[in-house]
Amino acid sequence: MTRFALTLLALCLAAAAAHPQTTAPDAGLVVVRVEGEPVTEGQLLEVIEDLARQQELTLEQRRQRHSLLFDDAIDSVVTITLLKREARDGKVTVEPSKVDEAMLELGKRYPSPEDFAAALEKQGVTKAELRANIEQSLAVQQVLEEVIRGASEATPAEIEKFYDDNPDKFALPERVHAAHILVRVGAGDTPEQQGAARKKLEALRAEIESGAVSFAAAAAEHSEDTVTAARGGDMGVFTRGQMPKPFEDAAFATLPGTVSAVVETPVGYHLIRTIERRPAGQASLEEARPAIKKHLDRAAQQEAARAFLAGLKAEARIESFMTREEFARRHPVE
């Protein structure tokens, strides 16, 4: 389940029920009606609390959350209510397996199934109600995904224009392409074990330099970095600051095509083969094209969703019965 879906689900749950143990005596007071559907003060408080949990608020902002987040909470419940109606009117169906998967994903947020059940009980929500709300939120997600699917993809001309208009976004620092062979050394290893690890790599280096074995073959057989060993120790391209400093210094100092002396880092001993050094410069259009397309496609999708939601709100009958100031007076700074 995507982060967006989980956020939407949380808001759906918050808007779906006002819990007596956390809301005011007048929790049933209607704050806004959306196409005739009431949103109560208690429901709005639940959404505000959920929004506050999602954001990094200062202590003072947290104290003033009822005023600061009122407009966002209203917009959230209006949006959710309209999307639910859209899913209902469109007769959107959700596969039960997707609901099961979402239930499992939410359950993982808790230490045990018992803790999950206790949390639901505390909120006054049964598992059946939770499943229904998950199904509803996934139906809403499907509505939005269909809208997003209709967004146009970036054209080659648009990608090229973005590249030409934003040269500062494609500056590249100095980079190095390197491979390594790792022999791990732990904090509890004896000096003799550490010495043996170093000697093993020194012997391997001598074999590589004599031509008895290739670096890639030695890495595949001897490296204890299981991720890179299968590809001959290849670590790809990296910049300064991405690796431990001793490793970085050796990789950038070693001439391309040669092998470093044994290098020690917190994880053990390494032999490093510098494959290529790339000076600082600017990414070419072809190098930047995939990232630019992804950026422009995402922007188009966001705009499609924004326009769709704006259209729903423009056509909807939304009646407000409480202003932000009135709500803030009813829920003063704590």
pLDDT in tens, 200-241: 999 999 999 999 999 999 999 999 999 999 999 999 999 999
Identify the pLDDT of residue 14: 44
333: confidence class by pLDDT, cuts 50, 70, 90: confident
3-state helix, strand, coil in the chain (%, to 5): 60, 15, 25
| Pair (273, 301) in one structural domain | no
176: confidence class by pLDDT, cuts 50, 70, 90: very high
Residue 33 lies in a domain: yes
Identify the pLDDT of residue 27: 63
Residue 286 lies in a domain: no
Beta pairing, strands 171-172 & 263-265: unpaired
26: confidence class by pLDDT, cuts 50, 70, 90: low
Number of separate domains in the chain:
2
Q: How far is CA 145 from CA 29, 99, 141, 301, in A?
A: 34, 17, 6, 9
Residue 275 lies in a domain: yes
| Pair (112, 199) in one structural domain | no
Task: Render pLDDT for 118-174 as a digit per residue (tens, 0 to 9).
Answer: 998 988 889 999 999 899 889 999 999 999 998 999 999 999 999 999 999 999 999
Q: How many residues does the chain have?
A: 334
Identify the pLDDT of residue 7: 47
- The model's pTM is 0.63
Strand partners for 320: 32
Instruction: Supply the range of the domain harboring residue 251.
Output: 174-279
How far is residue 133's CA from residue 131's CA, in Å, rounded to a whole number?
5
Task: Render pLDDT for 275-327 as a digit per residue (tens, 0 to 9).
Answer: 999 999 999 999 999 999 999 999 999 999 999 999 999 999 999 999 999 99
Hunting for tokens 């391309």 — which residue is that?
256
Residue 291 lies in a domain: no
Identify the pLDDT of residue 17: 37
Residue 289 lies in a domain: no
How far is residue 137's CA from residue 80's CA, in Å, rounded to a whole number?
9
Tell me the average pLDDT across 328-333: 88
| Pair (267, 198) in one structural domain | yes
| Pair (224, 302) in one structural domain | no
Q: Is pLDDT of 9 > 60?
A: no
| Pair (103, 37) in one structural domain | yes
Q: How far is CA 314 from CA 74, 228, 286, in A?
A: 15, 55, 42
| Pair (10, 147) in one structural domain | yes
As given in the structure block, the two tokens for residue 237 are: 């391209």
Residue 165 lies in a domain: no
| Pair (129, 7) in one structural domain | yes
Residue 79 lies in a domain: yes
Nearest CA to 322 out of 23, 44, 105, 14 is that of 44
Residue 164 lies in a domain: no
Domain CATH number, residue 275: 3.10.50.40
Alpha helices in 90-190 (DSSP H): 96-107, 113-123, 127-149, 156-165
Q: Is pLDDT of 8 > 70?
A: no
What would you report as the CA-atom Rg of the chain, rounded to the nearest whole angstrom? 29
| Pair (41, 144) in one structural domain | yes
Tell me the average pLDDT across 63-71: 93
Q: Is pLDDT of 190 > 50?
A: yes
| Pair (39, 112) in one structural domain | yes
Domain final residue pick, 236, 252, 279 = 279
Tell me the average pLDDT across 167-182: 95
Per mean pLDDT, which range of 106-115, 171-180, 222-231 is the poorest?
106-115
Question: Which is higher by pLDDT, 49 or 19?
Answer: 49
| Pair (8, 137) in one structural domain | yes
| Pair (21, 139) in one structural domain | yes
| Pair (140, 209) in one structural domain | no
Domain CATH number, residue 98: 1.10.4030.10
Q: Do residues 27 and 57 touch, judged by C-beta distance below 8 A? A: no
**CA dihedral for 191, 197, 199, 202, sign (positive or negative):** negative
Q: Is pLDDT of 18 > 60?
A: no
